């Protein structure tokens, strides 16, 4: 669905008309809220534009991708030992620690701790941001979930300042439809994650149950 089609659906749900500028503001608030819910598989990407060079240290800054939302995993070169993130404020404490990195979000940069002895391509897996949806564009989500945004915008438009539930003032039918679409989207993402684990957790640890592991992904 395009932004215009989502707008038409939202107006139908409300039996009212949302002013155009307000509608697209609420639409993108809703889109971003859903995308922040979890590390969706469809938002995972890898950046390989940065390189670790011999002699780099914790002050050798690398540039984050422009669509960076938050980091997921990092590997360097052909070594698939995962690098571990540390807090920005502890970068000096960890400056000599190998296979660690920190992110300077304020300046859209990151750096690897320790002194790099063997260089290589930095494989930074991260969750990306997506462009705002406009009248003639669509969310990058699968089209079958786009209608969720219409319900969410309608919910934002209807809710009062003291209302905690986004769908509180909707009819029972519309509230149920919205929650079912959201549940379907979450289950689709869980199935994708489960498939990458071959639907088992044994090679991680037997202490996890499947749902706990998926929540961490």
pLDDT tens figures, 113-152: 998 877 899 999 999 999 999 999 999 999 999 999 999 9
Question: In whole numbers, what is the pLDDT of the chain averaged over residues?
Answer: 88
Going by C-alpha positions, the residue among 88, 39, 41 that lies closest to residue 61 is 88
| CA–CA distances in Å: residue 78 to residues 64, 173, 205 | 21, 53, 25
pLDDT band at 164 (very low <50, low <70, confident <90, very high): low
- What pLDDT score was predicted for residue 132? 98
User: For the segment 26-57, what is each residue's pLDDT rounded down to a tens digit?
Assistant: 999 999 999 999 999 999 999 999 999 998 99
């Amino acid at each position: 669905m395009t932004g215009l089609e989502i707008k038409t659906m939202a107006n139908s749900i409300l039996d009212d008309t949302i002013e155009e500028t307000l509608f697209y503001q609420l639409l993108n608030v809703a889109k971003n809220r859903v995308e922040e819910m979890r590390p969706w598989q469809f938002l995972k990407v890898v950046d390989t534009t940065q390189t670790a060079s011999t002699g780099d240290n914790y002050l050798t800054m690398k540039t984050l991708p422009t669509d960076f939302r938050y980091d997921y995993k990092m590997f360097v070169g052909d070594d698939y030992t995962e690098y571990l993130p540390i807090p920005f404020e502890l970068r000096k404490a960890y400056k000599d620690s190998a296979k660690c990195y920190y992110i300077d979000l304020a300046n859209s940069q990151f750096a690897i701790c320790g002194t790099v002895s063997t260089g290589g391509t930095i494989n930074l897996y991260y969750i990306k941001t997506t462009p705002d949806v406009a009248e003639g564009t669509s969310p990058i989500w699968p089209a079958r979930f786009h209608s969720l945004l219409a319900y969410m915008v309608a919910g934002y438009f209807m809710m009062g300042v003291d209302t905690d539930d986004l769908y509180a003032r909707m009819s029972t039918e519309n509230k149920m439809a919205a929650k079912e679409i959201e549940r379907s989207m979450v289950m689709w993402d869980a199935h994708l994650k489960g498939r990458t684990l071959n639907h088992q957790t044994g090679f991680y640890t037997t202490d996890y149950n499947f749902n706990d592991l998926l929540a961490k992904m």
